Structure 1
Amino acid sequence: MRLTIVGCTGSMAGPEAAASSYLLEADDADGRTWRLLLDCGSGAFGPLQALVDPTAIDAVGVTHMHPDHFADLCGLYVYLRYHPTDGTTARQCERPLEVRGPEGAGAKVAATFGMAPEEDFDCMSFSGWDGDPWQVGPMRVEAFRVEHPVEAYGLRVTGPSDEDPSREVSVVYSGDTDECDGIVDAARDADLLLVEAAFLEGRDEPRGIHLTGVRAGRVATRAGARRVVLTHLQPWTDPVRAVAEATTTYAGPIDLARPRAVHVV
């Protein structure tokens, strides 16, 4: 699998990066590339178009319904429906894009876009995280409930290694969460843990919202994650401090999420 950072700024789009959005790609046995988008936050649809044809995305997983994680689904919807040659209006709607998210995700996106109650997404099909694994080509997606003020999930994606397709590897995306058993369970023995570290110790006191670098590192250590990529840092947060905090509780390799960076797993 290959993870490309589309957007990685926390809580809002920043001056150098869009908000949360991550593209996972994996090739099946026939050589077909499958594309799974994890979140599509504010500002993310712009850079996404520079990375992939939006009509080539096979599925979208949404961790929770805060704008910095879902707002640009509205832009994706417009593109998929109204593109003059590839849109569903021109093609009379072939296969709708499957989107999974918290309960009521479709209604929330519709309200954000301003759709009337009787309107429907003819190019997107919404469903909830029901506890069963979700198969997207060669990738298997599992959702774990995590601790955040709204219904939120960490996502574990298992699929073929890019270097050795006969071997399964796992990429875990924390979404937004504080330290909890759910994210530790999701990240168990992960080959790559993409984990938020929005807060700093001593500066941000509220609990039950976000991880600090210290707590992100502790989650990785408890779970036995092999590699960590820190993400969801707000524009006002010094990334050097976030990494320094994480190194006090996690001894493995740590990287920072950067726009367009590709992590091969």
Structure 2
Amino acid sequence: MCVTFLYLNADAVGDANKYQLIVLNNRDEDFDRPTSLAAWQEGILAGRDEALPNERGGTWLGVKRDGRVGILLSMLEKNSLIIPGAPTRGRIVNEYLNSGCSAEEYGERIAECAHAFNGFNLLLLDRQDILIYLFRIYGFGNSRRQTPFKKVRHGTRLLEEKIKQLNGRPKNELIEEFIRILRDDTCHHPDEQLLSQTDQPEECSKEMSKLFYRFPPPFRYGTRSHTVVLIDGFGHVNYLERSQIPPSKDFENISWVDSVYEFDILD
């Protein structure tokens, strides 16, 4: 379970006080699943899943210095629909960012074999395509985009309101306000679409209806990290990942750590 919100504005190009791209992402995962903090590795800035011995380094969100961004969200599926032994989806973002392909080219390539994987939503961005979108805000979750969960619609509305208040404010303030959106714990239960996709106990489905959540004990699952990416009109990137570490047994005193990066997109 994850959510991603995107703001795209082609009119921002050349204006340091505006943003070509804003990305907000929550990663929801097992608290004990081995994960490394966001770092540069082989030209990709990303947090990484370290759970699978032969597939370590897969990621849910990655950025390259050329401005390309890849984001993967797993589809929420009932146990009966999960494909045993399906290839890991964690390699897909890295594969795109390492491919040299445009977003459109890689999208066509992965579509040919997507049936082999368990369900996913894949967001691919590159600077060549930004002119297609003059000004748009998007929300994505663990369902088809045509049938979003209530929390995705809610988060999209929160971002729409926040975008109206940008007004050249300091980036560190904006990032914290975007984090507050990602930490919104408004409950949207019952969510008929969410319930139709899961066979989890109702107490877990209720928590999953929130943007920011954790399952009740003894379950150890919930929101583990928040990521905010800003790309301004001059191609300067601010990246913050706020992650829960180490996996805590004390839910009331969870520690969080920030991984912060800045760089300029290479033309």
- Whether the TM-score (by the shorter chain) exceeds 0.5 is no
Name the TM-score, length of structure 2 as normaliser. 0.31
Structure (1/2) with the larger strand percentage: 2
Name the TM-score, length of structure 1 as normaliser. 0.31
